[in-house]
Amino acid sequence: MNRREALAATATLLGVTITGAQMFLSGCTPTEKKISSLSDIDTALLDEIGDTILPETASSPGAKAARIGEFMKTIVSDCYSELEQKTFVDGIGKLLALCRDTYNDSFVNLSPSKRIELLTKLDTEAASFSSTKKEDGPDHYFSMIKQLTLWGYFTSEPGATKALRYVPIPGRYDGCVDYNGEPAWLY
Amino acid sequence: MSLKSVQVNSGGKEKNTYDAIVIGSGISGGWAAKELCDLGLKTLVLERGRDVQHLKDYPTMMKKPWEFAHRGRMSNQFLKENPLISKAAGFAEDTQHFFIKDNDHPYVQDKPFDWIRGYQVGGKSLIWGRACQRWSKYEFEAPAKLGYGIDWPIRYEDVAPWYSHVEKFIGVCGNKDGIESMPDGEFLPPFDFNCVETHVKQTLLREYKNRFLVQGRWAHLSKPNDIHLQQGRGQCQARNLCMRGCPYGSYFSSNSTTLPWAAKTGNLTVRPFSVVHSIIYDEQKGKATGVRIIDSNTKEVTEYYSKIIFLNASSLNSNLVLLNSTSNRFPNGLGNDSETLGKYVGFHLYRGFVNASFEGFTDKYYYVRNPTEGILANYRNLGKQEMDYVGGFTTFSAAYRTRATQSADKPQLGGDFKDAISKPGPWEMYMYMQGETVPKKTNHVRLSDTEKDQWGIPLLVTSVGYDDNDEKMVKDFLEQSQEMLTKAGGKILNAIDNKQPPGLDIHEMGGARMGRDPKTSMLNEWNQLHHCKNVFVTDGACMTSTGNQSPSILYMTLTARAANHAVAELKKGNL
């Protein structure tokens, strides 16, 4: 059973809507609900956004495998200030609106190339925002999403052990070894 | 709560009597316990915090990064409630249980001063930086010779054999470099330099002749000796997660080393949850007879008695205990005839930070993590006044490879992006300073007249700030560090004076300084109170000046030296 089936099956079996599950059955939800708090944001949507930023490649799994949506929600909920939380939550709403205006569809229904096209546009916008914003002003919401994705992915088990090299007990330190294109150490 | 209102539960005087009492179980208290127990004294260690047993009480030591809910970060609510302690070096989700919470332990700041504390058995020895350079002869001589302080009552020669004694026991890695400003010790093999560190070291030797960048002298068992195996400690695995507590006992802490060693003698008793109220002074006998404590859980007051007392409560708390130990003979604090108690507090200047990127060396990397940093020995005011400020500074430095970036003409997300940033990037190297400060009468701590803690003990007031000497030294550090990294081919990225408040260095010192003259100092050359000879203060409170070396190993050294002197004097009937 793959992940999509598992989630759908669980939702059906329990007879309740499980957060995230409906995104995998997006055909059944023709209208997206309004995003006004963190709990309105579906984990699966964040997984798909994260997985567009860091997708699976030949060398390593993508951000979805690192459960990046769950990580983003945990950090935004526990570690972000109220202002940062608002920026993030409003930002997801803006992203969905932009998606609908541009493609007349929800993000999760977009083809991979359209997802990349959309997020690249936001990435450019965020980069330009960062270069002009006040130093202590809030980040652009897409900068938050991207930072959380990179941080969460590279410290997750798949990111740390497959994309990077994680050696919990090195046993020794060598100051100088030849480098031939291997991944970086986790830290 | 006033003490008079509390039933003093002595539990029978005999039962509460020991040969020696040590106040504090941190890096110096642990050493006092170890030496005194080895020398046959029944020793009681009083610790205000909870017990922390080696291994058993290191809950995060084996956790992987993804096993922390916030991957190391603290919650926003915690940060709001703990703005002070969450600033401490090494404080994070994996180590936070070894630090205090702000609201539990208030103090009063006349000027901004970050007082970082770790209240548990082992104290801050669990979370210390582990750098272990020896003081040079210059540092002991400079304050009196160059006119910025009183004379130390000891010289390098007095402590050199005790440095050896301590180094052999705790295990210090390092290279014998033969540098006058940072003498060699009893070293285990050093950790390697990487290629950029070696390059910068060679550049500095060539360009300056007298600037020595050397491998870290750190309290790690790079290759344990028999004594370390006897302690139950093993070889450093280079995890560099020391502050969580080490599963191999490879870095030195009281918990892994001195306290278990002392316990094995059968002479040690440790009493956690014991907040020391004061040292009891007997006016007839003309000496201290014991220690009054408040149980932090029950608030019950108990007195313990002993022939000698070692005060190792951490620099400022040792000041607090002495200031709060009043009697008819000593109305202003125990042994305080000189009225210097609480004054001449110093710290280390940690404000300067410089880093640079380096082109090239991309065919070289290193194997995982170096748990130490390089040390650029002090090169300023060595034995003579050369600068427009007094004192010198040590520089810590390390080079590392950053993570690669995706080239700017390509999308900054997607598969190629992910694969690109999973690789190591260009080299960078940083330098930060550890500078000497001038202990001044005005930089002081005192007891609050009005505010008390939850045990009824007056709060400590800190009145410690920077001066013009500090500003000049930071400026010189920033200029010199940029020049050195530039000469080595680096491109400067940052040169920052972070303006952090004093205290965040966690190297606060003094207040009960050693000196030759009882009129201007609190302690003699053996760390005894001039006017109450059976009380020894051997933590950072004793420091006459701050030097520029990492201080912990000197505290351990002075403690071992004083403990052996104390036992010899006891045997002679002099205490």
Closest CA to B26 of B188, B286, B278, B254: B254
User: Do B86 and B134 lie in a common domain?
Assistant: yes
The pTM of the full predicted model, rounded to 2 decimals, is 0.93
In a domain, B181, yes or no: no
Buried b (16+ CB within 10 A) or exposed e, A94-107: ebbeebeeebeebb
Give the nearest chain A residue to B418 (CA atoms): A54
Closest CA to B399 of B486, B474, B490: B490
pLDDT in tens, chain B (575 residues): 344 444 455 557 899 999 999 999 999 999 999 999 999 999 999 999 999 999 999 999 999 999 999 999 999 999 999 999 999 999 999 999 999 999 999 999 999 999 999 999 999 999 999 999 999 999 999 999 999 999 999 999 999 999 999 999 999 999 999 999 999 999 999 999 999 999 999 999 999 999 999 999 999 999 999 999 999 999 999 999 999 999 999 999 999 999 999 999 999 999 999 999 999 999 999 999 999 999 999 999 999 999 999 999 999 999 999 999 999 999 999 999 999 999 999 999 999 999 999 999 999 999 999 999 999 999 999 999 999 999 999 999 999 999 999 999 999 999 999 999 999 999 999 999 999 999 999 999 999 999 999 999 999 999 999 999 999 999 999 999 999 999 999 999 999 999 999 999 999 999 999 999 999 999 999 999 999 999 999 999 999 999 999 999 999 999 999 999 999 999 999 99
User: Do B165 and B210 lie in a common domain?
Assistant: no
Strand, helix or coil at B444?
strand
Is B415:B436 a contact under the CB 8 Å cutoff?
Answer: no
User: Which residue reads 């030849």 in tokens?
Assistant: A178
Give the nearest chain B residue to A152 (CA atoms): B71
Closest CA to B375 of B360, B393, B353: B393
Q: Which of B422, B427, B428 to mutate to test the interface with A (most CBs of A within 10 A)?
A: B422
Rounded-to-integer distance, Cα A77 and Cα B310, Å: 48
Is A103:A115 a contact under the CB 8 Å cutoff?
Answer: no
Chain A contact for B73, CB < 8 A? yes
Is A143:A89 a contact under the CB 8 Å cutoff?
Answer: no
- Quick check: B367 and A54 CB within 8 A? no
User: Do B22 and B151 lie in a common domain?
Assistant: yes
User: Do B19 and B134 lie in a common domain?
Assistant: yes
Of B238, B419, B421, the CB nearest to A171: B238
Is B425:B402 a contact under the CB 8 Å cutoff?
Answer: yes
Query: What amino acid is encoded at B342 in this protein?
Result: G
Rounded-to-integer distance, Cα B366 and Cα B301, Å: 56
DSSP letter at B532 equals E
User: Do B384 and B334 lie in a common domain?
Assistant: no
Last residue of a domain, one of B485, B501, B517: B501
User: Do B74 and B207 lie in a common domain?
Assistant: no
Range of the domain at B290: 3-174+216-349+436-465+502-571
User: Do B128 and B204 lie in a common domain?
Assistant: no
Return all residues near A67 (Cβ < 8 A) that are at least 6 apart: A47, A156
User: Do B386 and B421 lie in a common domain?
Assistant: yes
User: Do B330 and B237 lie in a common domain?
Assistant: yes
CA-based nearest distance A124→chain B, Å = 9
Task: Give B413's contacts in chain A (Cβ within 8 Å).
Answer: 52-54, 116, 119-120, 123, 146
Give the nearest chain B residue to A163 (CA atoms): B422
In a domain, B182, yes or no: no
Tell me how many domains chain B contains. Answer: 2
Task: Kindly indicate whether the ipTM for this predicted assembly is greater than 0.90, answering yes or no.
Answer: yes
User: Do B446 and B496 lie in a common domain?
Assistant: no
